[in-house]
Structure 1
Amino acid sequence: MKMTVTCRKATEDDIGTLYDIIQGYAEQGIMLPRSRETLAAQIDTFIVAEIDGALVGCGSLTRLGHDLVEIRSLGVTSGYKGQGIGKALVDFLVKEAKEQGIPKVMALTYEVAFFQKNGFTVVDKEIFPEKVWRDCIHCKKQHCCDEIAVLKRL
């Protein structure tokens, strides 16, 4: 049975579930944690994926410069992985970047193969000074970052 995934902009009603999804990844050390307050302040950058009314995934699109956005906080709840939800989220975020006229979408990830299947290529993360100076400078992994940078040109 094929499930229908619906992606939409997140609302304040989604904050609790967004927090839970992101916190699950953060506890594994594979995503930066986000407080409920941060999620509320940045809710307009988040999207969610639903199946039959249940929120099963999330992601956000953060502007890093006039021609660059980053996909962040991309996650799918454990019982729904491998069902195309991540792809639906990425497609929605890429479409949003196109609509905003932004030609480059990047991500820092441990899931390189997933992003490559979705049209991204591996690049040197140092080509993103916008990211390094905005976020990486505050990260505890700053000098030993093991995430891989990927880029999609639109």
Structure 2
Amino acid sequence: MTITCRKAQPNDVDALHELIQGYAEKGIMLPRSKDALKRHINSFFVAEEDGKLIGCGSLFRLGSDLVEIRSLGMAEGYKGKGLGSMIVDALIDEARAMRIPKIMALTYAVDFFLKNGFTVVNKEIFPEKVWTDCVNCSKQHACDEIAVVRMLG
């Protein structure tokens, strides 16, 4: 069995939605509608094994020098096998290709991001994120996610 990572395609929307929805139901990822996934499919990378989608992640541009990793997740049974790092590496390569020098995420999986070269920072240093998404989030005034950033050289 071979795991590959590639840019998402329109026919991945249903599997992406199902994977993200599983995390959203647990309150650890923002939900994404199928329409939103269709509109932003070019921002997603997926991991697959034998044609089955088993992981995903996306980049969202927050400014001229900053992108955010969003919707990073994997199917049950695939955590701890390097899949998340494979997707993050693809997203970092994409950010570099876009000539974006900073990549950030809001996460509960701090150790994972530290292992992948990120550092913990105060989330208030990202007003772009606060005004783009946080203003509409139910956890806005009690956010328990941790901000991480990686400078891309």
What percent identity do the matched residue pairs reach? 65
Distance in structure 1 (CA, Å) of the matches to 2:3 and 2:129: 30
Give the structure 1 partner of residue 120 of structure 2: 122
> What 5-or-longer segments of structure 1 have no aligned partner?
none
Distance in structure 1 (CA, Å) of the matches to 2:2 and 2:61: 29
Answer whether contact 1:5 1:88 (CA < 8 A) is retained. no
Alignment of 1:72-111 (within 5 A): 72-111=70-109
Give the structure 2 partner of residue 133 of structure 1: 131
- CA-CA distance at 1:5 after TM superposition: 2.3
Give the structure 2 partner of residue 44 of structure 1: 42
Give the structure 1 partner of residue 56 of structure 2: 58
**What are the superposed Cα offsets for residues 106-142 of structure 1, whole Å, 9 maximum, x if unpaired?**
0000000000000000000000000001110010100
**What are the superposed Cα offsets for residues 37-73 of structure 1, whole Å, 9 maximum, x if unpaired?**
1111111111100122211000000000000000000
List structure 1 segments (4+ residues) > 2 angstroms apart after TM superposition.
Answer: none
- CA-CA distance at 1:4 after TM superposition: 3.3
- 2:5 aligns with one of 7, 15, 25: 7
**What are the superposed Cα offsets for residues 67-87 of structure 1, whole Å, 9 maximum, x if unpaired?**
000000000001211111100
Over aligned residues, Cα RMSD in angstroms? 0.8
**What are the superposed Cα offsets for residues 12-42 of structure 1, whole Å, 9 maximum, x if unpaired?**
1000000011000001100000011111111
Distance in structure 1 (CA, Å) of the matches to 2:19 and 2:52: 13
Q: TM-score, normalised by structure 1?
A: 0.97
Q: TM-score, normalised by structure 2?
A: 0.97
